Amino acid sequence: MVIGRGSDRTRCVLQVLEGLGPIWWPNEPSRVFDRIARVHLACVVLADDLTDEPVGELLTRLRELHPVLPIFVVTDANDVADAVQAMRLGATAAVELPPSAGLREYVIQALQ
């Protein structure tokens, strides 16, 4: 599942994951948690910048609720500080923009 605002960034992520059946959900914590309780997820990709307010909150709450769910965070290119922050909040891995084959591989591993 890809969570993002539906911007170009989200579209890039969805494009990289084409063929893997990604589902896009808007970045709205209340709706995300309502939906997440009703489906089985293989992994989550947070497409928006971590500095966008709901993203850090989403990541923290997702990790609390799902301790082993693979969660990947897309950061700006070379934004090491953001990647480290994502990892501290419980991300499985961080990948930088533009999302590449690396993200696809992470997701394939999670699906397996």
Interface positions with another protein (CB under 8 A): 75, 78-81, 83-84, 87-88, 93-96, 102
Which CB sits closer to another protein, 24 or 69?
A: 69
Output the smallest distance, CB 28 to another protein, in A: 27
Provide, rounded to whole angstroms, the least separation between the CB of residue 34 and another protein.
30
Q: Which two tokens stand for residue 60?
A: 């923290």
- Residue 31 CB burial class (10 angstroms; 0-12, 13-18, ≥19): exposed
Report, in Å, the least distance between residue 1 CB and another protein: 21
